Amino acid sequence: MFLERTVSDSRTVLSQIMLINMANPAGNIHGGEILKIMDSAAAAVAKRHCRSNVVTARVNELEFMIPVHVGDLLICTAEMAFAGRTSMEILVTVEVEDLYSEEPPRTALTGYFTVVAIDEQGKPKPVPRLIPETEEEKQRYEERKQVYLERKRKLAAKKESLPK
């Protein structure tokens, strides 16, 4: 198994034209449809990074900033932000392109997915170390590392407070 990988080793782009069966009667795409594509992109990145089965453990708060309509091209880019021992923090960015205008794609939302590598028994298994290369990747890595460590502290405190 690879002991370390870069962010670009696993970066994944999923693009899809939005169809009528994904929308409400007014033509707005359901948030759940977009979330499903984001989850698929995050899982693909995680599998590329660790080359094993994975499950999604957490999705951070998602804010839909602009509406997505039937006929729009959705461009979903996912990349590794941080790797813990068995978990991976993945940044997913969704852009929307109106295929009938000359406007460049606009960012509709971003989100972080925590995905855990699992073995054949469904137990968490170690993942390769992440090597951030660019300044942006290095900064994001440090930010998400702090979020990861803070969450670990809270989870440990919660477990400690449970009756034995």
Question: In the 3-class helix/strand/coil scheme, how is 80-94 assigned residue by residue?
Answer: EEEECCCEEEEEEEE
Question: Which spans of this chain sit near ligand COA (rule: CB under 6 A)?
Answer: 55-58, 84-87, 114, 116, 118, 124, 151-152
CB 127, min distance to ligand COA, A: 8
Q: If you write DSSP's letter for every residue of 26-81 in order, what string do you get?
A: TSBBPHHHHHHHHHHHHHHHHHHHH-SEEEEEEE------S--BTTPEEEEEEEEE
Q: Is 7 exposed, middle or buried (0-12, 13-18, 19+ CB in 10 A)?
A: buried
CB 115, min distance to ligand COA, A: 8
CB 152, min distance to ligand COA, A: 6
Q: Output 48 or 151, the one with its CB closest to ligand COA.
A: 151
β-strands 129-131, 4-6 pairing: parallel
Q: Tell the residue number behind the tokens 């054949």, with chain if given.
A: 120
Q: Output 138 or 154, the one with its CB closest to ligand COA.
A: 154
CB 64, min distance to ligand COA, A: 21
Q: Output 18 or 46, the one with its CB closest to ligand COA.
A: 46
Q: Output 119 or 136, the one with its CB closest to ligand COA.
A: 119
